């Protein structure tokens, strides 16, 4: 606020101030509220310039003063509504863009000049974003008076209708950030752009007439019940009928068009009717209000309230922090921590996809496939379009020469997965339930004739030393390398994968990639080429350039490695015309991880990444990989993943030793079954004395291929007492020779747990089957609590195997605390279960709960409590996306009009 200097040099506030009051163009409610505030400012002796698109009568009907100045300018449009209850989201975003974005520079210049011309002391904005920025440009302080902000509202529109307008949200937030503080009205929504807040009571206009006077003027007898239909000057969109009202009632309709015919028990109100008086004279009012904000201050004063809506409001936020090519800088106050809040997945309709794509990636034309409304795919394509720009980061500079953008480029996408049920029982043949998550890996690939391949300097030098004709070279750039301990680039001559005319062995390849720890990551990508050479006999004559960009966090137990493998192999396959089924693609990727990377994982992760579908659980029997269906997630149930911050790796010793213990247990059970059969025959018992069914069961168990094919009751009846708690590797080998697991090796000196790793898959298979059946059962509190109990049982079974961790145990306990709290019980159940996932020993916890606002609030509070206890802010996984094969692939090239000379 400007300060004048008094004659004695002491600063003092002027008694007479000039206010510039900006009013949003959305509905009359804002203008009528402003009118009441303006009236009081004028009564206090101040000048007020109102900038509005509302009719003059809204202000002049109650304010007759030369201190009131009305300037008819519309600087935002609010929401475009077909009627009071129907919002056209995409039209709203487009109109705002036309109204406030495209002419932004002109608006700021005009408003800055005008504010200085009237010598404004303070700018007040009833939710007009650009007014705050204009005030800052003019060197004038500003405040906002509102109970919602347009970044909150438009973010939902962006999710539902127009991802290509996402920059609007951040521009509005940046404008609001210039306010000194927010004067917050009751019934407010989350507004994270504002730094300081002052809460005030509801602002309403005063009454001019008594209810009796109003009824008399309208000619309505006292015995008639009166209802007012008021939707902020908007028509309600309903066809009003006489039978809508009980006998003896009359409805006064605000905003009815002149041409609209009303039944005899409905009456139009004049456009300039003073509604506060009429509302006071009515018996009831029918209007619209956001359900989530109707609770007022008690609802919103809690810092957790509206957590779900807050996440929706900043849908672009933390995802965009990791995504390359974001539209504009994300405001600092939003980006307090990476991934502080997750967000719900909302994809635009198919009809919007073309416009979404063209808005962000007009540099390319799609020759095959579509983006399916996936904002991360759009962002990846945008990053490709920007490769030829000048960059300073090493990975970007390397990628700049990777592709010829005028030639075809293949793009694939593979998500990570949330292990809902099954986990480490996959290698024992269990049924598993896996959900593909929102976060995914993208790969761009181009085939290039060796003579045309633009090689990095050292790769070119290597070719020159050979002196032969150009040979095929693989060049890979990995985005995000600065976040991990790995080199940003990798290259090799594809001939290095050959030993004469044959492909090299997997063991030799494993040693090749292990030479340099900073480039071991390339095994996940380049290893797919060797597997295709070995397993399918594919010959690679062309050079290959690949760009890998993954948003799947590493070491959190959500299959970051599988997503890279699947996206890479899928890209290589489609670029070379290979027709590989989703199932076979996953099995081939498992070979990469088992034999080249050296991680003894099952195939569950790769299957979920390759074959999953959005918002469904992939049900698969891992014998080795038979998909038995896709399970719809009921609308009243939601899954979350919460990262413990403890790095997880399926290559770790604990995972491997538990797997070894499981295969030891399988070998012991088979051996025991064979002994029982031998004893039966040795005792001379015939089939009359021994039930045929028992003999068949023993024969099956003697040749048991997967431990999960043994039922819990058979294990308890015949084998539980035979399985030791621990065994030394050498002792086991002396008796059983081997454990028949091709991807692990027993250390003779090491002691292995056997009983718990053996029990886990047997009971886990039963738990997963029960879980799958419960998902399709009738909705009830018992259904949710039973599903949650199965997760808890799984979690503690992991711990018994030695795969627990302090972090995951803490998260599970926090979920239990909320489940058994009075607040949760009063809500009819919220969060109801949690378990460690994947390979265990850290990583992510899967949580199940009722799909409601309270559950989301509790997830947020679990996150915050965990941070207070450990200092680590967990990443929250929420939402789903299609698997690699459901997404398909894109074939793109730069548009001719955009070609660089």
What is the b/e burial string over 86-124, where b = at least 16 CB atoms within 10 angstroms of the residue's CB?
ebebbbbbbbbbebbbeeeeebbeebbebbeeeebbbbb
Model-level pTM? 0.62
DSSP string, 64-82: --TTEEEEE--------EE
Dump pLDDT digits (tens) for 457-501: 778 887 777 767 888 999 999 988 766 667 788 999 999 999 988
Confidence of residue 377 (pLDDT cuts 50, 70, 90): very high
Which pLDDT score, from 0 to 100, does residue 896 have?
A: 74
User: Based on the domain organization, do 138 and 165 belong to the same domain?
Assistant: yes
pLDDT at 348 > cutoff 70: no
Find out whether the peptide bond into 624 is cis, omega within 30 degrees of 0.
Answer: yes
Confidence of residue 718 (pLDDT cuts 50, 70, 90): very high
Dump pLDDT digits (tens) for 495-524: 999 998 899 999 999 999 988 877 888 999
Q: Which residue in this structure is represented by tokens 């090239």? A: 893
What is the CATH number for 416? 3.30.230.10
Q: Which of 126, 277, 426, 605 is catalytic?
A: 605
Q: Which residue in this structure is represented by tokens 């990443």? A: 875
- Record the tokens describing residue 772, joined without a space: 């799958």
Cα 740 to chain centroid distance, Å, stands at: 41
Give the C-alpha separation, 221 to 214, whole Å. 11
Burial class (CB in 10 A: 0-12, 13-18, 19+), 382: buried
User: Based on the domain organization, do 414 and 455 belong to the same domain?
Assistant: yes
Residue where one domain finishes, among candidates 587, 615, 643 = 643
User: Based on the domain organization, do 217 and 171 belong to the same domain?
Assistant: no
Q: pLDDT averaged over the chain?
A: 82
Which pLDDT score, from 0 to 100, does residue 56 have?
A: 86
Residue 882 φ then ψ, to 5°: -70, 150
Confidence of residue 294 (pLDDT cuts 50, 70, 90): very low
**Residue 771: inside a domain, yes or no?**
no
Which pLDDT score, from 0 to 100, does residue 323 have?
A: 34
Instruction: Label the pairing between strands 266-268 and 225-229.
Output: unpaired
Neighbours of 813 (CB within 10 A): 11
Q: What angle do CA 585, 586, 588 make, to 5 degrees?
A: 65
- What is the mean pLDDT of the segment spanning 547-574? 93
**Residue 779: inside a domain, yes or no?**
no
User: Based on the domain organization, do 415 and 505 belong to the same domain?
Assistant: yes
User: Based on the domain organization, do 488 and 592 belong to the same domain?
Assistant: yes
Sign of CA dihedral 107, 108, 113, 116: positive
605 catalytically annotated: yes
Can you give the residue range of the structural domain that contains 630? 364-643
Nearest one of 868, 824, 869 to 847, comparing CA atoms: 824
Dump pLDDT digits (tens) for 758-800: 999 999 999 999 999 999 898 888 999 999 999 999 999 999 9
Nearest one of 432, 33, 423, 28 to 234, comparing CA atoms: 28
- Record the tokens describing residue 762, joined without a space: 């047997």
What is the CATH number for 67? 3.40.50.2000
What is the b/e burial string over 838-864, where b = at least 16 CB atoms within 10 angstroms of the residue's CB?
bbbbbbbbbbbbbebbbbbbbbbbbbb
Which pLDDT score, from 0 to 100, does residue 591 have?
A: 95
User: Based on the domain organization, do 375 and 517 belong to the same domain?
Assistant: yes
Which pLDDT score, from 0 to 100, does residue 9 have?
A: 39
User: Based on the domain organization, do 54 and 189 belong to the same domain?
Assistant: yes
The radius of gyration of the chain from alpha carbons, rounded to an integer in Å, stands at: 33
> Number of folded domains in the chain?
4
User: Based on the domain organization, do 461 and 372 belong to the same domain?
Assistant: yes
Give percent above pLDDT 90 in the chain: 47
Residue where one domain finishes, among candidates 604, 621, 643 = 643
User: Based on the domain organization, do 471 and 567 belong to the same domain?
Assistant: yes
Dump pLDDT digits (tens) for 388-433: 777 767 788 888 889 999 999 999 999 999 999 998 899 999 999 9
Give the C-alpha separation, 487 to 516, whole Å. 10
- Record the tokens describing residue 142, joined without a space: 């500003």
Contact call for residues 542 and 448 (beta carbons, < 8 A): yes
Residue where one domain finishes, among candidates 715, 743, 761 = 761
Helix, strand, coil % in the chain, rounded to nearest 5 = 45, 20, 40
User: Based on the domain organization, do 587 and 445 belong to the same domain?
Assistant: yes
- Record the tokens describing residue 6, joined without a space: 């008094």
Nearest one of 492, 484, 424 to 659, comparing CA atoms: 424
Whole-angstrom CA distances from 654 to 102, 458, 648, 650, 778 are: 58, 40, 10, 8, 40
Which pLDDT score, from 0 to 100, does residue 892 have?
A: 95
**Residue 259: inside a domain, yes or no?**
yes
Which pLDDT score, from 0 to 100, does residue 314 have?
A: 33
**Residue 790: inside a domain, yes or no?**
no
**Residue 175: inside a domain, yes or no?**
yes
Q: How many residues does the chain have?
A: 901
User: Based on the domain organization, do 660 and 545 belong to the same domain?
Assistant: no
User: Based on the domain organization, do 693 and 552 belong to the same domain?
Assistant: no
pLDDT at 322 > cutoff 50: no
- Record the tokens describing residue 497, joined without a space: 């994968």
- 187 or 701, which is more confident? 701
**Residue 817: inside a domain, yes or no?**
no
Whole-angstrom CA distances from 825 to 51, 774, 811 are: 50, 21, 20
Under DSSP, is residue 219 helix (H, G, I), strand (E, B) or coil?
coil
Whole-angstrom CA distances from 371 to 118, 356, 552, 798 are: 50, 9, 18, 39
Q: Which residue in this structure is represented by tokens 């949760």? A: 824
- What is the mean pLDDT of the segment spanning 118-146? 93
């Amino acid at each position: 606020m400007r300060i004048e200097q008094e004659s004695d040099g002491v600063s003092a506030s002027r008694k007479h101030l000039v206010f510039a009051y900006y009013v949003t163009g959305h509905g009359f409610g804002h203008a009528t509220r402003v009118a009441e505030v303006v009236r009081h400012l004028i009564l206090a002796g101040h000048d007020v310039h109102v900038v509005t698109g509302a009719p003059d009568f809204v202000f002049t009907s109650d304010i007759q003063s030369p201190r009131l100045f009305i300037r008819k300018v519309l600087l935002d449009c609010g929401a475009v509504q077909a009627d009071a209850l129907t919002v056209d989201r995409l039209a709203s975003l487009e109109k705002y863009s036309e109204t406030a974005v495209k002419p932004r520079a002109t608006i700021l210049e005009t408003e800055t000049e005008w504010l200085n011309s009237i010598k404004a002391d303070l700018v007040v904005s009833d939710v007009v974003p650009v007014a705050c920025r204009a005030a800052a440009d003019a060197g004038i302080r500003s405040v906002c008076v509102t109970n919602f902000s347009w970044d909150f509202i438009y973010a939902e529109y962006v999710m539902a209708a127009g991802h290509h307008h996402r920059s609007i949200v951040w521009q509005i937030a940046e404008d609001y950030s210039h306010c000194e503080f927010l004067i917050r009205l009751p019934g407010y929504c989350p507004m994270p752009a504002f730094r300081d807040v002052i809460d005030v009571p509801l602002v309403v206009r005063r009454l001019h007439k008594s209810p009796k006077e109003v009824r008399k003027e309208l000619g309505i007898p006292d015995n008639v019940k009166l209802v007012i239909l008021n939707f902020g000057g908007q028509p309600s969109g309903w066809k009003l009928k006489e039978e809508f009202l009980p006998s003896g009632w009359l409805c006064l309709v605000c905003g009815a068009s002149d041409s609209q015919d009303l039944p005899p028990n409905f009456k139009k109100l004049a456009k300039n009717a003073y509604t506060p008086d009429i509302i006071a004279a009515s018996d009831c009012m029918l209007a619209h209000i956001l359900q989530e904000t109707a609770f007022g201050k008690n609802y919103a004063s809690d810092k957790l309230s509206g957590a779900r809506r807050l996440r929706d409001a900043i849908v672009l936020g933390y995802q965009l922090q990791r995504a390359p090519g974001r539209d504009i800088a994300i405001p600092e106050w939003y980006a307090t921590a990476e991934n502080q809040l997750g967000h719900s997945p909302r994809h635009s309709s198919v009809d919007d996809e073309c416009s979404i794509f063209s808005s962000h990636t007009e540099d390319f034309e799609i020759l095959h496939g579509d983006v399916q409304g996936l904002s991360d795919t759009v962002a990846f394509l945008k990053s490709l379009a920007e490769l030829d720009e000048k960059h300073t980061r090493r990975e970007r500079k390397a990628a700049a020469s990777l592709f010829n953008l005028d030639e075809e480029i293949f793009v694939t996408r593979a998500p990570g997965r949330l292990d809902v049920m099954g986990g480490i029982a996959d290698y024992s043949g269990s049924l598993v339930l896996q959900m593909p998550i929102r976060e995914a890996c993208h790969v761009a690939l181009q085939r290039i004739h060796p003579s045309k391949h633009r090689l990095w300097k050292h790769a070119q030098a290597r070719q020159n030393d050979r002196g032969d004709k150009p040979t095929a070279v693989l060049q890979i750039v990995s985005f995000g390398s600065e976040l991990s301990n790995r080199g940003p680039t990798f290259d090799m001559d594809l001939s290095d994968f050959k030993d004469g005319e044959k492909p090299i062995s997997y063991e030799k390849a494993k040693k090749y990639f292990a030479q340099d720890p900073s480039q071991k990551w390339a095994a996940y990508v380049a290893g797919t080429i060797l597997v295709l050479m070995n397993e399918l006999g594919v010959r690679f004559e062309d050079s290959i350039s690949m760009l890998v960009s993954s948003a799947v966090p590493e070491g959190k137990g959500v299959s970051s490695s599988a997503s890279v493998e699947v996206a890479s192999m899928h890209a290589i396959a489609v670029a070379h015309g290979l027709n590989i089924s989703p199932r076979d693609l996953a099995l081939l990727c498992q070979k990469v991880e088992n034999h080249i990377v050296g991680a003894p994982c099952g195939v569950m992760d790769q299957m979920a990444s390759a074959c999953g579908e959005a918002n469904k659980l992939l049900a698969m029997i891992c014998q080795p990989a038979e998909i038995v269906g896709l399970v719809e997630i009921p609308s009243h149930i939601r899954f979350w993943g919460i990262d413990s911050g403890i790095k997880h790796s399926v290559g770790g010793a604990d995972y491997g030793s538990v797997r070894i213990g499981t295969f030891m247990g399988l070998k012991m059970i088979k051996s025991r079954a064979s002994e029982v059969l031998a004893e039966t025959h040795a005792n001379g018992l015939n089939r009359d004395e021994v039930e045929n069914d028992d003999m068949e069961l023993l024969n099956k168990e003697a040749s048991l291929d997967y431990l999960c094919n043994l039922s819990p009751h058979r294990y308890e009846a015949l084998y539980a007492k035979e399985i030791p708690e621990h065994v030394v590797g050498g002792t086991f080998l002396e008796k059983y020779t081997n454990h028949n697991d091709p991807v692990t090796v027993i250390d003779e000196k090491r002691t292995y747990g056997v009983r718990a790793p053996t029990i886990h898959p047997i009971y886990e298979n039963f738990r997963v089957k029960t879980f799958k059946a419960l998902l399709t059962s009738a909705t009830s509190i018992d259904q949710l609590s039973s599903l949650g109990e199965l997760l808890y049982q799984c979690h503690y079974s992991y711990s018994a195997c030695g795969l627990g961790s302090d972090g995951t145990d803490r998260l599970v306990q926090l979920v239990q605390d909320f489940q058994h709290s009075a607040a949760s019980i009063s809500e009819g159940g919220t969060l109801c279960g949690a378990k460690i996932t994947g390979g265990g020993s850290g990583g992510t916890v899967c949580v199940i709960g009722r799909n409601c606002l309270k559950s989301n609030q509790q997830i947020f509070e679990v996150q915050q409590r965990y941070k207070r206890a450990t200092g680590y802010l967990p990443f929250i996984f929420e939402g789903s996306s299609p698997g690699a094969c459901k997404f398909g692939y894109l074939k793109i090239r730069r548009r001719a009009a955009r070609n660089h000379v």
